[in-house]
Amino acid sequence: MPELPEVETVRRTVLDRCQHKKIIDVAVDNDSVLANVDVATFRAALQGRAIKTIERRGKYLLMILDNDTMVMLHLRMTGQLVYFEEMPEADKHRHVTITMEQGFLSYRDVRRFGRFSLYQDGAPITDNGWLQLGAEPFDDAFTVDYLTEGLAKRRCPIKNRLLDQTFIAGIGNIYADEILFATAIHPLRRCDSLDEDEVASLHRGCIDVLALAVEKRGTSFSDYVDGSGNAGEFQQFLQVFQRGGEPCPRCGNRLEKCKCGGRGTTFCPHCQKE
């Protein structure tokens, strides 16, 4: 599941290999991955343009071309954006292939939840998910006060709130579990029940866990690879995610699983008091 650290790693690795390269052609094998544009328009908009830069906001990638046309991409569950020197082998899960003057940029997505959107001629971004994104965890705007205000008077479980992209951009199921374990906060705790110290700890935890995961180039749990096709390393550092039944790395008690906001959740009932 690509979350902030994975998407950031894809951004860096793809940018490293594709920046300033000119797009020769675009093949779209499955137009269901195009959200707001048809194949012909998408192809025409990219052909002949060079990739100026790639930005990231939350779990979104934003490729900016040399005429300021923007290609937005959300990888959702299984999307993979990978650069190849040679034309990659045929694959029924490869939906978009961008041929550049040197190399190929491939979009592969087994479950096809991922989506491309196109914004050209200065058209403003209209994607609601993007427009409603909350604070970036590494931005100055993500402060203890921001967290405090966003949790006050909220009665939902803290894990649900961490997954709310309109509050904090980029946290998904893996890092929500890891952050809550790192800060010893039970995933089902009501937001408005956290005291000052816990909110401060949570603030630190979000930044530290995500920063370490970026440093380790993301978590390759199932499908994730970076823009060079390489796996990440953070799976070696996971403390609780997908480890239900195993001993807690901190206290040795058995890690438990539950459902929280409809998502599989793993926590330590001893370290993370409800």
Partner DNA sequence: AGTGGCTCCTGAGCGC
Partner DNA sequence: TGCGCTCAGGAGCCAC
Just list the catalytic residues. 2-3, 59, 263
Chain center to CA of 141: 19
**Nearest-approach distance from CB 239 to DNA, in angstroms:** 16
- For position 76 contacting DNA by CB under 7 A, the verdict is yes
Candidates 88, 103, 129, 249: give the one binding DNA (CB under 7 A): 129
Residue 124 binds DNA (CB under 7 A): no
Which one-letter DSSP state was computed for residue 21? P
User: Which of these, 3, 19, 34, lies nearest to 175 by C-alpha position?
Assistant: 3
Residues between 11 and 50 with contacts to DNA, criterion CB under 7 A: 32
Report d(CA 213, CA 219) in Å as an integer.
7
Pick 141 or 153: Cβ nearer DNA? 153
Write down the H helix ranges in 132-231: 144-151, 158-162, 173-182, 196-215
Q: Is the separation of the CB atoms in 16 and 230 below 8 Å? A: no
Interface of this chain with DNA, residues 243 to 262, rule: CB under 7 A: 261-262
CA 197 to chain centre: 28
Binding mask 203-242 for DNA (x = CB under 7 A): ----------------------------------------
Q: How far is the CB of 47 from DNA (least distance, A)?
A: 26
160 lies in the binding site for DNA (CB under 7 A): yes
Residue appearing with tokens 């328009």: 41
Residue 15: both structure tokens together: 């940018």
Q: How far is the CB of 190 from DNA (least distance, A)?
A: 8
Report the largest interatomic distance among the alpha carbons of the chain, rounded to a whole angstrom: 59
Q: How far apart are CA 197 and CA 200, in angstroms?
A: 5
- Which of 39, 156, 200, 231 binds DNA (CB under 7 A)? It is 156
Chosen residue from 137, 172, 218, 227 binding DNA by CB under 7 A: 172
Distances (CA, A) of 244 to 85, 176, 208, 223, 267: 40, 15, 23, 20, 8
In the complex with DNA, the residue whose CB is nearer, 128 or 236, is 128
58 binds DNA (CB under 7 A): yes
Stretch of 14-22, 40-48, 106-114, 208-216 contacting DNA, by CB under 7 A: 106-114
199 by DSSP, 3-state: which? helix
What is the contact surface with DNA in residues (CB under 7 A)? Answer: 1, 32, 58-59, 74, 76-77, 93, 110-113, 128-129, 132, 153-157, 160, 163, 165, 172-174, 191, 261-264
